[in-house]
A and B are shown apart, each in its own frame.
Chain A
Amino acid sequence: MDNLTEAVTRVRSGDAAAFQRIVDGTSTRLVRLAARMLGNVVDAEDVVQEAYVKAYRALTTGEFDGRANVTTWLYRIVTNQAIDAMRGRARRPKPTDTADESISDLASAEQQLALTELSDWMDELPADQRATLVLKAVEGMTSPEIAEILQCSEGAVEQRLVRARAALRKRSEGR
């Protein structure tokens, strides 16, 4: 049994402190994933924190039965939270000082610039296409892995990738 699976078993049996091991073992990857989708570390931390609370509730209520891979399950919760956040943000006016606020000690200036560039470039993509493209081309996941995270078919993953690339191509041609 690996460290994460053992921690999950302990949390399910009532040991809340064991959740710390799950956070320590996954938070860097999950915050990076969310930051790549949302364009800044502040929003990414909020999304991942909410995802952890959801995961903890699912463990303590028995909703998560422990049969699925823990990392994939957490990626799924974070991705869904990030998609909801992107959709919510699309309905609100864009704040002007997000980048400046999150540069401070969260990420280096170069990293924040790259996150902002990624976010601005994909800004017009629908949230599900954006998430799929980040998982594939930025996180380096395979289509079957993405299909498992997004709980859709591999065909749907490929279709979203084709559409996302076509939209980005059209955008660069329009310049």
Chain B
Amino acid sequence: MSHEEDIDARLSRLSGATAGVRPRADFSSRVMQRIEAEPPGAWFALRAPASRFLPVGMLAAALALVWAVSVNNQVNEAMASSDDTELSW
């Protein structure tokens, strides 16, 4: 038997001999105790307020748009009237 066959045969034997390895019965509950001790993720901390503030944010954006249009109109009117004044000079 070659060394290569030796290696494969030994790996195969050890694979079979360790196929029944499993964690202790209380492993799952120990993991869950650790998980329950974890602080809530930053993801949840951010997501809840973000959804709460969405309608307020949308209203603020709409009001800002109305204000911007109104200011733009005022500026246009002011410029038009100043052009008239200049012409009358």
Give the B-binding residues of A (Cβ under 8 A): 14, 16, 19-20, 23-24, 27-28, 31-32, 35-36, 41, 44-45, 48-49, 52-53, 56-57, 59-62, 105-108, 110-111, 113-115, 117-118, 121, 133, 137-140, 165, 168-169, 172-173
Contacts and interface: CB of A to CB of B under 8 A. Distances in A.
Interface in B6-24: 6-8, 10-12, 14-15, 17-24
Nearest to A52: B31
Given A16-B35, A31-B21, A173 B27 contact: no
Interface of B: 3-4, 6-8, 10-12, 14-15, 17-24, 27-28, 30-32, 34-36, 38, 40-44
A137 B12 contact: yes
Contact of B38 (A57, A111, A168): A57
A112 to B, nearest CB: 9
A62 B45 CA distance: 12
A113 B14 CA distance: 10
Contacts of B24: 41, 45, 105-106
A57 B14 contact: no
B1 to A, nearest CB: 11
Given A60-B41, A115-B21, A138-B18, A31 B7 contact: no
Contacts, number: 107
Contact of A14 (B14, B17, B44): B44
A118 to B, nearest CB: 5
Nearest to A62: B43
16 contacts: A20-B32, A28-B22, A32-B18, A36-B21, A44-B23, A45-B24, A49-B31, A52-B34, A53-B35, A106-B24, A108-B20, A111-B20, A118-B18, A137-B15, A168-B7, A172-B3
Contacts of A48: 23, 27, 31
